[in-house]
Amino acid sequence: MVHDPALAIRNVTKRFGDFTAVDGLTLDVQVGTCLGLLGPNGAGKTTLMRMITGQTGLNGGSISVMNFDVTSQSRQARSILGVCPQQDNMDDQQTARENLALWAALCRVPRSRRKQVVADALETAQLADRSHERVTNLSGGMRRRLLLGRAFINSPKLVLLDEPTVGLDPQVRSDLWLMIDRVRRSGVTVVMSTHYIEEAERLADDIAIVNHGRIIARGTPQELRERHAGLEAVEYFGPTDVLDEIAAKAANAGLKSRRAGLSISVLGVEKVSSELLASLGRHSRRPTNLEDVFVLLTGEALDG
């Protein structure tokens, strides 16, 4: 049986003056899946998310959330959305509990259930013992957990997470991954933008790579790797001129390569002999990864 997608984005365009931030973008996200949006700074990820919440207008195309059109039925769409914005917008001077209670009210959680959902969210965010602390006194990681807990408070059908773990230490990040994984497993559809390859690989069933406001590749991490980077890569280290030479030779042999500082990765090497690779110098072999795909397609390195 074929379901309507949870999120259907059709040929959507957004211009800011002369600048086109989102450029005829089309994207479907199936119910119950987690989509990772990978893209360099300025690719249009946040703009796309704001279009879904009706906070940025469309210059063309259409978007629907569970069949609610975001232009004509924005309120209905927002009532089933959960949002974790890139830029923290909590009320600093209010406590964690007050922020959540306010959110429950704004999201029209029935009055009789508010106390419970607030308690649950505090539990999820592991902030039950800090619930009376003003947000301004919470650490960056705690704030982020609260922001994420807030996004789930209305039992949304689709959650939008805009770089949910940006700028956090690995411990906090893996706490947040647990939170995200839990909602994902409960069948909620997730759209998550990120700069962290590991985050995408751990959480996303499906990846869309965005650049200049367009989707330039789409598939499971496995598919993307095989399609664009092959199965295996070898890495060479050395001074720039040596690396230049290796790049040229690899290209001659029909192989793609990518540079990162003082190393070069030659991709899809399962297709060539190990003698050829050895002739280029000492190297180490590894499976290809999403980062290879990302850099090949966008020409930009990722942080993290």
Partner 1 sequence: MARFDFRSLPAIWTRELIIFKRYWPGVTFTAILEPLVFLFAIGLGVGAFVDEIDGMKYVVFVGTGAVATAVLFSSVFPGMYNTFIARVFQKVYDGILSTPTTTAELMVGEATWISARTAVYGSVPMLATIPFGLSPRWSMLLVPFTCFISALGLTFLGQYISGVVKVIDSFSYFQSALLTPLLFVSGTYFPISGLPDWFGTVSNVNPVYHCIELVRDSCFGTLSWSSMWNVLALGMFAVITGTLSIRTMTKRLIT
Ligand X SMILES: Nc1ncnc2c1ncn2[C@@H]1O[C@H](COP(=O)(O)OP(=O)(O)OP(=O)(O)O)[C@@H](O)[C@H]1O
Question: Beta strand pairing status for 7-16 and 19-29?
Answer: antiparallel
Q: What residues from 38 to 77 belong to the interface with ligand X (CB under 6 A)?
A: 39, 41-47
Residue 78 interaction partner, one of partner 1, ligand X, Mg ion, none, beta carbon < 5-8 Å per kind: partner 1
- In the complex, the smallest distance separating the C-beta of residue 1 from ligand X, rounded to whole angstroms, is 35
- In the complex, the smallest distance separating the C-beta of residue 47 from ligand X, rounded to whole angstroms, is 3
Residues 6+ apart with CB under 8 A from 112: none
Residue 174 interaction partner, one of ligand X, Mg ion, partner 1, none, beta carbon < 5-8 Å per kind: none
- In the complex, the smallest distance separating the C-beta of residue 56 from partner 1, rounded to whole angstroms, is 5
Residue 260 interaction partner, one of Mg ion, ligand X, partner 1, none, beta carbon < 5-8 Å per kind: none
Q: Which is nearer to partner 1, 161 or 280 (CB)?
A: 161
Residues 6+ apart with CB under 8 A from 41: none
What is the amino acid identity at position 119?
A
Q: Which is nearer to Mg ion, 59 or 86 (CB)?
A: 86
The single residue among 7, 9, 12, 21 that binds ligand X, judged by CB under 6 A, is 21
- In the complex, the smallest distance separating the C-beta of residue 230 from ligand X, rounded to whole angstroms, is 27
State the burial class of residue 203 (Cβ atoms within 10 Å of its Cβ: 0-12, 13-18, 19+): buried
Q: What residues from 83 to 102 belong to the interface with ligand X (CB under 6 A)?
A: 86
Strand partners, 62: 10
- The answer to whether 55 and 36 are in contact (CB under 8 A) is no
What is the amino acid identity at position 229?
A
State the burial class of residue 64 (Cβ atoms within 10 Å of its Cβ: 0-12, 13-18, 19+): buried
- In the complex, the smallest distance separating the C-beta of residue 204 from partner 1, rounded to whole angstroms, is 22
Q: Which is nearer to partner 1, 4 or 88 (CB)?
A: 88
- In the complex, the smallest distance separating the C-beta of residue 14 from ligand X, rounded to whole angstroms, is 8
What is the amino acid identity at position 150?
R
State yes or no: residue 16 binds ligand X (CB under 6 A): yes
Which letter does DSSP use for residue 136 in this model?
G
Q: Which is nearer to partner 1, 58 or 253 (CB)?
A: 58
Q: Closest by alpha carbon to 118, among 88, 152, 85?
A: 152
In this structure, what are the phi and psi dihedrals at residue 53, rounded to the nearest 5 degrees?
-85, 5
Q: Which is nearer to partner 1, 57 or 299 (CB)?
A: 57
State the burial class of residue 212 (Cβ atoms within 10 Å of its Cβ: 0-12, 13-18, 19+): middle
Strand partners, 9: 27, 63
Q: Cα(82)–Cα(154) distance, rounded to whole angstroms?
A: 7
Q: Which is nearer to ligand X, 15 or 185 (CB)?
A: 15
Q: Which is nearer to partner 1, 157 or 225 (CB)?
A: 157
Q: Which residues bind partner 1 (CB under 8 A)?
A: 16, 50, 53-57, 74-76, 78-79, 81, 83, 85, 87-94, 98, 101-103, 105-108
Q: Which is nearer to ligand X, 196 or 236 (CB)?
A: 196
- In the complex, the smallest distance separating the C-beta of residue 181 from partner 1, rounded to whole angstroms, is 23
Q: Closest by alpha carbon to 217, among 295, 302, 301, 303?
A: 295
Residue 105 interaction partner, one of ligand X, partner 1, Mg ion, none, beta carbon < 5-8 Å per kind: partner 1
Neighbour tally for 279: CB within 10 Å:
9
- In the complex, the smallest distance separating the C-beta of residue 126 from partner 1, rounded to whole angstroms, is 21
Our CA dihedral for 28, 30, 31, 36, rounded to 10 degrees, sits at: -80
Binding positions for ligand X, rule: CB under 6 A: 16, 21, 39, 41-47, 86
